[in-house]
Amino acid sequence: MPTTPIGGAPFPAGPDSDNVPADLQALAVWASTRVTMRFADAAARNAEIPAPTPGMVAWLDNPGAVTIRTATAWRTLWSALSWTDLTLESAYTTFGTTPQAALDGGNFIVLRGGVQRSTPSTDITGNSVVGTIPSSFGTPIGGDYPIATQWLSDIVTGRLYVATNRQLTYVGRNTGWISLNGVRIPLA
C-alpha cells in the first residue's frame, strides 16, 4: 500500500486488492499515532504503546499532563501545576499571596507569592535568606533571578539568589516586600 509524501498516510492504490476494512484499519492505526491520544495515566499509556515512536503525543488524565515521545523517553510538555508552600525563615511572612513553588514540566521550579518581614514597618535587608524551596522539588541550578520589590523613595532593584541547596536569598537595597511571581528556575 503506498503512502502520502507528507506524513506517510497509507492509502489504497489501483493495483492493491479491494479490502475496505483492512484499508480503513491501516489508516486508523496511522492516524491514532499522530493525534493526541488519551490515557488514564502513564502506566496505561505504556501498556497500550509498548514500542512508541518519537513524536507521539499523549494526554494523561492523572496527573493532567500532555506528554511527547522523544527518541528515548516520554517527556512532559505541559502539566497542571501543583503548588506547595515555601518554608519561610522565622523573621518573614506572606505579603499578598502565599509564597509557593511548583514543578513546571519536570524541568523548572516556578515561584509565586510575596514576602515581607514579620515585624511591621521593618524592611527586608539585602543579602537576607528569606526562605527555602522544599527538597521534594529537586536540585535547582543556582543563580540570580530578577524580582519586583517595593519602591521606597528612590529606584529599588532587587534579585533573588537561588542556591543549589534551594535556599532563597534577597539581594538588593532594603525594601518593604519582594515578589516571587514569575521566577522560573531550571533544575540541575
| Res 168 pLDDT > 90 | yes
List, in order, residues 6 or more apart from 88 with CB less than 8 Å away. Answer: 94, 99, 115, 130, 131
Predicted TM-score (pTM) of the model is: 0.66
Three-state SS at 43: helix
- Buried residues in 42-69 as b, exposed as e (16+ CB within 10 A): beebeeebeebeeebebebeeeebebbb
pLDDT tens across 88-127, in order?
A: 999 999 999 999 999 987 789 999 999 999 998 899 999 9
Q: What is the pLDDT of residue 34?
A: 79
Domain residue spans of the chain: 33-79, 84-186
pLDDT tens across 26-36, in order?
A: 888 888 877 89
Residue 73: which of 42, 29, 38 has the closest Cα? 42
- Topology classification of domain 33-79: YefM-like fold (3.40.1620)
Whether the CB-CB separation of 117 and 125 falls below 8 Å is answered with: no
Pick the CATH number of 84-186 from 2.60.40, 3.40.50, 3.10.560, 2.130.10: 2.60.40
